[in-house]
Copies of this chain bind each other. A is one copy, B any other.
Amino acid sequence: MKFKIINPDWGMTEEQMEQRCRILADYTNRRIQLSMECLAKTKVSLDSLADLVRAGPEILQMAIQAEQEGYDAVILYCFSDPVMEACRQAVSIPVVGAGQAACLLLPAVAYHGALLVADQNRIPEKRMSLSRTGLASERICGYEPVHARGLDPIEHRGQLKKELLKAGQRALEHTEAQALILGCLSFLGLAEELSAGLMVPVIDPGPASVCLAETLVCMHLRSSPRAYPPYPHF
């Protein structure tokens, strides 16, 4: 079983992507081969709706190529699940959005959860986009910004963890959250330590996305052609 992880941030090095795959592999079945690829032509990191629109065509093309190369599933490695539905039209293998995968795990461990987000200014946009995940909206009871701009999850691990702990603490104090969801893929690999510190489940969207892809492949589930009708020109 091999999964293509599409990272919609331009300019990541091979080594950075391999590091992320190694962390993800710890949370999943050893039979699965993970391969990450980032934007090569569209020079954006996904930090706004405009970035998302600009990156869309390249992401779609990467998904189509992954299917042609024999991958069993495509994972969109961004909490905004960029162009997820369009990818489901374009390919017949499962397409998993990391944000959706994380949100759909919440009710398995708690009633209510809060989202820790990388950018305070984008909270209203996040709230809107959550309706796309299929999670009942009342299950998300708060959004807490993490002051972590520019912090790399591997290089600045200690500082990032400190900021996430503070944000998690604030969410647990000020909302009815019983669990936390890491609302950005840059927070990779810190959920377990945060959970031990904060005494609530912390859902990491990276591992959640790989596990959901494995579930779909094991159960032979593919996107519904009634929901995502294939376009003839793909």
Contacts and interface: CB of A to CB of B under 8 A. Distances in A.
Interface of A: 27-29, 94, 96, 100-101, 104-112, 131, 133-137, 139, 172, 177-179, 191-192, 195, 199-201, 203-204, 207-208, 211-212, 214-216, 218-228
Given A191-B219, A203-B219, 10 more contacts: A94-B109, A96-B108, A108-B212, A109-B223, A134-B135, A199-B225, A201-B221, A201-B224, A204-B219, A211-B215
Contacts of A107: 100, 104, 133-135
Nearest to A137: B136
B201 A211 contact: no
22 contacts: A29-B29, A94-B109, A100-B108, A101-B108, A104-B105, A104-B107, A104-B108, A105-B219, A107-B135, A108-B221, A109-B222, A134-B136, A134-B139, A135-B135, A136-B137, A177-B226, A179-B224, A179-B227, A195-B220, A203-B221, A207-B218, A207-B219
A216 B108 contact: yes
Chain B CB within 10 Å, residue with most, of A134, A137, A139, A177 = A134
Contacts of A226: 110, 172, 177-179, 199-200
A170 to B, nearest CB: 15
A216 B29 CA distance: 13
In the A-B complex, the 3 residue pairs with the closest CB atoms: A107-B134, A178-B227, A178-B226
Contact of A200 (B96, B108, B224): B224
A228 B110 CA distance: 8
Contacts of A195: 220
A139 B135 CA distance: 9
Given A27-B218, A105-B221, A222-B201, A227 B111 contact: yes
A212 B26 CA distance: 17
Contacts of A94: 108-109
Contact of A136 (B109, B131, B203): B131
Contacts of A139: 134
B224 A178 contact: yes
Nearest to A133: B107
A138 B228 CA distance: 18
A96 B211 CA distance: 16
A102 B173 CA distance: 33
